[in-house]
Chains A and B, each alone.
Chain A
Amino acid sequence: MERPRASRNPEAAGGAKHSAGWRRLLSVTSEHESPWGAYMEPERLGGVWVCGEQRLGRVADVAFELTCKARSLADRLGSRVTVAILGSHIEDCSNRLIALGADVVLFVDDPRLEHYQSDVFVPVLQQLVKEHEPAILLMGATRVGLDLAPALAASLGTGLSAHCVDLDLNEAGQLVQMVPAYGVQCVATIICPKSNPQMATVKPGAFECVPGEGRKGRALRLTAESAKVRSRVDIVEEGTVREQGSHGFDTAEALVVGGAGVASPEGWGLIGQLADALHGVVGATRPAVDEGWAGLDQMIGHSGSSAAPKLYVGVGVSGDMLHMIGVAKARVIVAINSDPRAPVFQQADYGIVGDYRAILPILVSKLEGLQSTYV
């Protein structure tokens, strides 16, 4: 099913000067001991690749989610799954990656890969792509992925789609990449018909991690041998701005989101009251953030946070795709909007058409009534 790679375009020349060699450090666990004598065997891995990165001591979850999806794509293509993790002193997560479907795990482990810098990461991946000619290359739409993927795609002269919410294959075995379409209540499908690898960054949380039984795979630790790899950007310091999930989006059982329809700072107070009554947290859509009712870090959706609460209540939320993909995993979605034609009603389990200023106070008092009955 794999197609020949298209010829490289002139931009590719930039990376060639960094031609890196690989040195095999050690095979990782005896359980998955590699039958390979040396890494540089002539075998071309091809197939579906996932590239993940280790940052601040851990491999981002999205690499595991993508491995699981890559397995299902590779099964349909009859090809292999390779997961490459770049970093320094990378945690050994090979068992988990293999259980999720990786045939080969490559830990590209090098002190120069401790901090993400495109100058260093791009030539390393470029070399791997050149040697192994993957048909498909997936990365998480994380800070690193969103920077690394386009820089790599430009160097390879291949196509790349961003923030995919789903992936599929067409009859020709081409990767169908589904990206949210702005202002449209649907997704655009994108293919990359003439060049490999077909690249996509995928929104974290888009796929589930479902381990399979009795899967076998190989794990290797490599280092980039070339000393020519040198970054023009020096990282002075890095860390977390706030504790992940300090707004509680990761763990909250209830999430109340206010949108443009809230239309006043006073109304925003009702959003908070409802969140309190549900023991939940408050999120916002972009228009609400733009109006200054909520902070940028409270934004839910495409360019903000994702959440998977048991209960989502959208108040004055129109239902824009770029917001709704952030709560696609909510168990129950409730929408309150005065406009009966608001697209949010097509994406909700339960909708109430009406003025939230009339509805929320009743809802809050009934919820508080419920609690006092139980206590």
Chain B
Amino acid sequence: MRELNLIACIKSVPDPRSSFKSEMDPKTGTVRRLADEIGIPRVIGPLDRNALEAALRLKELAGGRVRAMTMDSPAAEEALREALAWGADEAILISDPAFAGADTLATARSLAAAIRKCGPFDMVLCGAWSYHGNTGQVGPQLAAMLDVAHIPFVTHFEFVSDTRVRARSEWEGEYAIAEAGLPLLITVNETINQPRHATLMGIMGARGREILHWDAATLGLPADTVGLAGSPSRVTGIALMSTARKKEVMRGDPEAVVGQLLEKLRQEGVL
């Protein structure tokens, strides 16, 4: 197999084992995450871990190079350092105050510019969705902008020749097996692999390694195409979901409250 140029797009998230809060910025209408302020460590997002793992396994099989990139504030360096500790060859932080408030379209546009700057690639791997925004839109948007084939929701893939990939996608009880030539973008599901943990050697090795910082000027992106200015979508506010539920809360002796509950459920006719 020939050597492969691989790119894993990741998003850093506050460590999901910690509790954190989000709040709206009333001025810009974007969701501000408070993790930076309260010092929760940033890690690679759940499905993005699978994407990076898949890229690294492919490199271990075929040889080549894995670049991990993210568009975020400088706090995301922690997650990129984790990627280096796992075995990524290069880490790129796409960061600029002008990128703030980007919707998925502006995010994909910035990532596409960074990928083009890296030169020709064989595969781009992304998580099928992120846990924060949860839209799952950036991968397909990126493929459209890079004008490459893409296969979503991949649970398994293999090379059928040096330049052709066969992949299985799964979503809500359906599956598809598809083939496509390189270059190719795939978004991966969490069942594709079991992501590794960094070894002590890896963590030591990643210390002091350079993380590339690319801003809007480096990427040649005009200010009105990035961040809030380049985003067609606007978050206008937060609304409470109208839940017309009875909200009757019972407490006390278990025997008694269970009796009350069963009486209510009988009256509702659901038993």
Quick one: given A143-B172, A150-B140, are A181 and B261 in contact (CB under 8 Å)? no
A188 near B261 with CB under 8 A, answer no
A350 touches B248 (CB 8 A): yes
Are A359 and B254 interface neighbours, CB within 8 A?
yes
- One of A143, A154, A254, A333 near B174 (C-beta < 8 A): A143
- Known A-B contacts A160-B104, A333-B245; the reply to A182 vs B131 at CB < 8 A is yes
Q: How far is the CA of A11 from the CA of B251 in the complex (A)?
A: 58
Stretch at the interface among B53-61, B88-96, B177-185: B177-185
CB-based closest 4 A-B pairs: A159-B232, A143-B171, A232-B149, A159-B233
Which residue of A148, A188, A192 has the most chain B CB atoms within 10 A of its CB atom? A188
23 CB < 8 A contacts A-B: A11-B109, A11-B145, A14-B144, A14-B145, A147-B153, A149-B137, A150-B104, A159-B233, A163-B135, A180-B134, A184-B238, A185-B241, A187-B239, A187-B240, A191-B236, A232-B181, A234-B179, A296-B191, A302-B134, A332-B265, A350-B246, A352-B250, A359-B258
Name A240's contact: one of B135, B169, B175, B247 (CB within 8 Å). B175
Known: A238-B177, A331-B268, A351-B249. 12 other contacts (CB 8 A): A56-B174, A117-B178, A143-B174, A146-B136, A147-B152, A153-B105, A180-B134, A183-B22, A188-B235, A253-B270, A325-B241, A352-B258
Known: A147-B152, A194-B232, A232-B181. A311 touches B265 (CB 8 A): yes
Contact indicator B147/A238 (Cβ below 8 Å)? no
Chain B CB within 8 A of A68 CB: no
Selected interface stretch from A105-113, A128-136, A362-370: A362-370
Complex Cα–Cα for A370 and B170 (A): 42
Q: Answer yes or no: B116 CB below 8 A from chain A CBs.
A: no
Are A242 and B137 closer than 8 Å at their CB atoms? Answer: no
Give the complex CA separation of A354 and B249 in angstroms: 11
From residue 189 to 204 of chain A, which have CB atoms closer than 8 A to chain B? 189-195
Asked if A348 is at the interface (CB within 8 A of a chain B CB), the reply is yes
Q: Main SS of the interface on chain B?
A: mixed
Q: How many A-B residue pairs have CB under 8 A?
A: 260
A233-B261 CB under 8 A given contacts A162-B136, A188-B238: no
B176 to chain A, nearest CB (A): 4
Using a CB-CB cutoff of 8 Å, which residues 184-242 of chain B contact chain A? 190-191, 225, 231-241
Per a CB cutoff under 8 Å, which of A115, A184, A254, A332 touches B22? A184
User: In whole angstroms, what is the CA distance A182 to B68 when docked?
Assistant: 25
Are A241 and B105 in contact (CB-based, < 8 A)? Answer: no
Cβ of A346 under 8 Å from chain B: yes
Instruction: Given A159-B232, A354-B254, answer yes or no on A235-B248 (Cβ-Cβ < 8 Å).
Output: no
Given A236-B177, A347-B243; A192-B233 close (CB under 8 Å):
yes
* Residues in A37-86 with C-beta less than 8 Å from chain B: 55-56
What residues of A have a CB within 8 angstroms of the CB of B181 in the complex?
232
Q: Which residues of B contact A33 (CB under 8 A)?
A: none
Q: Give min CB distance, A318 to chain B, whole Å.
A: 10
Q: Interface of chain A, helix or strand or loop or mixed?
A: mixed
Q: How far is the CA of A346 from the CA of B145 in the complex (A)?
A: 43
B135, B241, B246, B249: the one within 8 Å of A321 (CB): B241
Q: Considering the chains assembled together, what is the distance between the CA atoms of A367 and B119 in angstroms?
A: 66
With A154-B145, A345-B249 already in contact, the answer to whether A159 and B134 are too (CB < 8 A) is no
Name B144's contact: one of A155, A165, A348 (CB within 8 Å): A155
Q: How large is the interface on A (under 10, 10 to 19, 20 to 34, 35 or more residues)?
A: 35 or more
Shortest distance from the beta carbon of B72 to any chain A beta carbon, whole Å: 16
8 Å CB contact of A186 from B129, B147, B238, B270: B238
Contact A235 B241 (CB under 8 A): no
Which residues of chain A are within 8 angstroms of B152 by Cβ–Cβ distance?
Answer: 143, 146-147
Cβ of B31 under 8 Å from chain A: yes
CA distance A350 to B113 in the complex (A): 52
* Distance, CA A9 to CA B179, complexed state (A): 31
Taking CB atoms, residues of chain A closer than 8 Å to B27 are none
The answer to whether A354 and B261 touch across the interface, beta carbons within 8 angstroms, is no
CB of B264 within 8 A of CB of A154, answer no
Let me know if A189 and B177 touch, CB within 8 A. no
Query: Could you say which residues of chain B place their CB within 8 Å of the CB of A237?
Result: 176-177
Complex CA gap A346/B240 in Å reads 11
Q: Are B262 and A332 in contact (CB under 8 A)?
A: no
Q: B121-148 CB contact bits vs A (8 Å, 1 = yes)?
A: 0000000010111111111111111011
Say whether A186 contacts B239, CB under 8 Å: yes
Instruction: Tell whether, in the assembled complex, residue A150 and residue B144 are in contact, meaning their CB atoms are under 8 Å apart.
Output: yes
- Given contacts A157-B105, A362-B254, is CB(A151)–CB(B141) below 8 Å? yes
Assess whether B134 is in contact with A162, with CB atoms less than 8 Å apart: yes
Kindly identify, within residues 224 to 272 of chain A, every residue whose CB is under 8 Å from any CB belonging to chain B: 231-244, 253-254
Instruction: Check if A151 sits within 8 Å of B243, measured CB to CB.
Output: no
Contact B233 A161 (CB under 8 A): yes
Give bound CA distance, A296 to B47, whole Å.
14
CB pair B232 A192 closer than 8 Å? yes
Partner of A233, one of B144, B178, B268: B178
Q: Is the CB of A159 within 8 A of B231?
A: yes
Q: Which of A14, A193, A370 contacts B271 (CB 8 A)?
A: A370
Q: Does A216 contact B (CB under 8 A)?
A: no
State the CA gap A147–B178 with chains docked (Å).
Answer: 15
Known: A11-B109, A188-B31, A191-B234. A142 touches B268 (CB 8 A): no
User: Which residues of chain B have C-beta atoms less than 8 A from A169's C-beta?
Assistant: none
Whether B129 and A303, one on each chain, are in contact in the complex, defined by CB atoms closer than 8 angstroms, is yes
In this assembly, does A223 line the interface, its C-beta being within 8 Å of a C-beta of chain B? no
Is B156 on the interface with A (CB-CB < 8 A)? Answer: no
A241 in contact with B144 (CB, 8 Å): no
Residue numbers in B under 8 Å from A185 (CB-CB): 240-241
**A366-B261 Cα distance, complex, nearest whole Å:** 11
Is A375's CB within 8 Å of the partner chain B?
no
Q: What residues of chain A lie closer than 8 Å to B137, measured between beta carbons? A: 146, 149-150, 153, 160, 162
**Smallest CB gap from A369: residue in B:** B262
User: Does the CB pair B257–A352 fall under 8 Å?
Assistant: yes
